[in-house]
Chain A
């Protein structure tokens, strides 16, 4: 019963960590637009905390390259369980238009286990919100069932 309360709390209070791997900032601007009065994701209890130690949802934009591979892993590591990763924009999905560049490794699923993919270039705020909600409902619940203590 206590578990159910915590479950509900998790869904009602998702805190984001937004990280730009190497994007053109288009998707980042759309993410920030979600925080503005027009979309106001704080209605859902979502806060953009800048700190992995406080975050549940890891919002990543941009492609992974040799330099930020380690940073992505560090940040993901510093997030406490349960956590989900949402890849936003085509660069994060598969490398987007930068895929052929020499330093680009591809989408972030080359480095991290991604739970939700939000396509678009840039992804629309509505799609981003959809993605976050899907991450909450499908994956936070599942993560809790298989929660491991590292």
Chain B
């Protein structure tokens, strides 16, 4: 039963993807997407009581699944090589040839097609990832249905390419499920490459020149990760004679330098996948893709593969220099990406840098490698995925409505799109304020990092910078010179469902964080770490710190209700124009300027480009990141 469910979760999306590609009717295809999503969610929920579980892959129609995956892997690498030729990219050609050769060596000379004992292994951590993929991923696909309709109408395409779009999106969901459930690293590698390909196809979906260029860049950077991955596998097999992830963790011998090198290479693969410095340009370039792509791949699922991998591997390199250097690298990325986000006014780029920043923090937690830190990392993984997806979907909606993704153009958005503006503000609040999940994990991360001087020195300013760029954005959405005549804007039902579910889900999950810890995270870590926090009555507590999540949540709800009551009462108040030195005219925001002409009062946000500008900082940050990366890999030796 468990095997069947898990297999369905992985394979059904592949089948649905083919259906999506072949079906021409928009209506029918939308139903396929909806049904796939619902089935994925149902399957994931049904799987919850069955965790943890493990089983070996059997055979399908007489062929061993292991061999099928192996063959598919080669096929995939040749497809990437083909794209290398098509786009005349030497680097892609070199990397795919390298991967093909190493894979061939590994398959035919080392592993020889032997599968790991438990191909599929699912503990609470994998289950959490499956749930994120199923719930957040499906919700994003639901929202993509009206979004892509609008998108194509806007682009005035003669021939709809939505079939290809949805096919790859759904396929990706299956690949993600396969990846997080994989215990055999060859399977992991196969799904890893599938996600690379999906990302390439989706970034280049619109087929504009920039899109193709950015897609190619994403392909080669992710291929670099793939190359590092297969190299790591080769080294691991040479040391342990198997590719079973769980056994690797159990038998890990940190004194073995070569083994550590392989772990460092895996970390490198994770860094490229999660767009850490100096590989961040692919993620920034990926923002040209339609927003559901950004929401799904580049904030909540694919980039999480990297952090998932490192969190999984963390028990294997405890208390080694590798661990410290990974933590330092992560903290540095957290600070640097936050600084770069302060200098951005492009909404999607702010979200992209924020994603890189938060992923850096998760890497730092994984590197700190204490029970507290790992808990913080997993919590941040979960909450960041949900809330970032919500914010990307909001920005997508907003962009379609006002035809711009610049924050300056979203000034006073409340006047045109009140509900979306409020949901976006709610998303921003959930990213930076207690009692919501992201701040719980930041709190835990800071308490975990407090014993490490170098890490805390980086995290403290980073956290302050984070607050700055979020508050700036959240504030001006409501910057409307009028006092709330509320008329909800019109959006498709699926959009409201998607935004509403994500928003509500994040809020409820935040207040339920202590129980999330108790039922999900604590069991997931218990194999390798001594559990630290107690969760009693909704209060998370350990020896050094206490966070009464549930009581604060109740008080927050109470405060919210009182504040809403205050707004209702204030709606009867006298409305005046903002103070403009007495020369305001009857029209809000307009004053009598020079020569008695009505002039609009304008203000712009501080982007502090002279300090935090992208062009100013990027080169230095990349250099520093390069040095740190060398430290990570070299230090393993």
Contacts and interface: CB of A to CB of B under 8 A. Distances in A.
B583 A150 contact: no
B51 interface: no
23 contacts: A19-B582, A51-B579, A52-B579, A52-B582, A53-B576, A53-B579, A70-B583, A70-B592, A71-B582, A71-B583, A72-B582, A74-B582, A74-B583, A74-B584, A75-B582, A77-B576, A78-B576, A78-B577, A78-B579, A78-B582, A80-B574, A149-B574, A150-B574
Residue among B574, B576, B577, B582 having the largest count of chain A Cβ atoms under 10 Å? B582
Nearest to B581: A71
Contacts of A71: 582-583
A87 B584 CA distance: 23
Contacts of A78: 576-577, 579, 582
Contacts of A19: 582
A72 to B, nearest CB: 8
A33 to B, nearest CB: 24
Interface residues of A, number: 14
A97 B565 CA distance: 54
Interface in A38-71: 51-53, 70-71
Contacts, number: 23
A52 B584 CA distance: 13
Nearest to A150: B574
B570 to A, nearest CB: 13
A78 B584 CA distance: 10
B577 to A, nearest CB: 7
Contacts of A149: 574
Contacts of A75: 582
A77 B578 CA distance: 12
Interface of A: 19, 51-53, 70-72, 74-75, 77-78, 80, 149-150
Contacts of B576: 53, 77-78
A59 to B, nearest CB: 14
Given A74-B583, A78-B582, A150-B574, 14 more contacts: A51-B579, A52-B579, A52-B582, A53-B576, A71-B582, A71-B583, A72-B582, A74-B582, A75-B582, A77-B576, A78-B576, A78-B577, A80-B574, A149-B574
Nearest to A77: B576
B589 to A, nearest CB: 14
Contacts of B582: 19, 52, 71-72, 74-75, 78
Nearest to A74: B582
A77 B574 CA distance: 11
Nearest to B573: A149
A78 B574 CA distance: 10
Nearest to A51: B579
A45 B365 CA distance: 54
A92 to B, nearest CB: 16
A133 to B, nearest CB: 26
The list of the 3 closest CB pairs from A to B, nearest first, reads: A71-B582, A75-B582, A74-B582
Contacts of A74: 582-584
Contacts of B577: 78
Interface in B558-596: 574, 576-577, 579, 582-584, 592
Contacts of A51: 579
A118 B584 CA distance: 29
Contacts of B583: 70-71, 74
Nearest to B584: A74
Contacts of B579: 51-53, 78
Nearest to A67: B596
A75 B584 CA distance: 9
A80 B575 CA distance: 11
A135 B577 CA distance: 27
A21 to B, nearest CB: 11
A27 B402 CA distance: 52
B139 to A, nearest CB: 44
Contacts of A52: 579, 582
A26 B14 CA distance: 85
A150 B576 CA distance: 11
Nearest to A53: B579
Nearest to A19: B582
A131 B592 CA distance: 33
B571 to A, nearest CB: 14
A52 B583 CA distance: 12
A71 B579 CA distance: 12
A80 B592 CA distance: 23
A64 B576 CA distance: 23
A99 to B, nearest CB: 24
A38 B592 CA distance: 39
A74 B584 CA distance: 7
Contacts of A80: 574
A77 B584 CA distance: 11
A25 to B, nearest CB: 18
A145 to B, nearest CB: 19
A77 to B, nearest CB: 7
B584 to A, nearest CB: 6
Contacts of B584: 74
A77 B575 CA distance: 11
B430 to A, nearest CB: 32
Nearest to A78: B576
A58 to B, nearest CB: 11
B588 to A, nearest CB: 13
Nearest to B575: A150
Nearest to A76: B582
A28 B624 CA distance: 59
Nearest to A71: B582
A78 B576 CA distance: 7
Contacts of B592: 70
A53 B582 CA distance: 11
A75 B580 CA distance: 10
A70 B574 CA distance: 20
A74 B576 CA distance: 10
B197 to A, nearest CB: 60
A53 B574 CA distance: 12
A72 B577 CA distance: 15
A47 B592 CA distance: 29
Nearest to B577: A78
A15 to B, nearest CB: 15
A80 B573 CA distance: 11
A85 B592 CA distance: 24
Nearest to A81: B574
Nearest to A75: B582
A36 B583 CA distance: 30
Interface string B513-548: 000000000000000000000000000000000000
